[in-house]
Amino acid sequence: MTHSNDSAWFAPKRFGLGSGLPIAWQGWALLAAHVALIFAGLPLAEHSHAAFAAYAIVVGCTPLPLYAAKTRGGWKWRWGERD
């Protein structure tokens, strides 16, 4: 079964909950921007570790609904079976 026409940006994880690796350029772009935004907050760590922790939590969690929406099959617990 081919999935080339769906709008998924991420493959599902085989075990557990969440997204696997990106399978489309949009997924790679989102992941790169997400990591870049987290690293952009590193100067906050020089002033306050608590401020950086708060920044990292907010920036880290904000795009999670988009990751879930763009994962093939959505987020659900998987036990290793193929969908």
| 69 three-class SS | helix
pLDDT 10s digits, 22-64: 999 999 999 999 999 999 999 988 989 999 999 999 999 999 9
**Amino acid 1: pLDDT:** 43
Question: What is the model's pLDDT at position 78?
Answer: 86
Per-residue confidence band for 4, with pLDDT thresholds at 50, 70 and 90: low
- 5 — pLDDT class (breaks 50, 70, 90): low
Instruction: DSSP letter for 54, please.
Output: H
Note the residue count of the chain. 83
Specify the pTM: 0.80
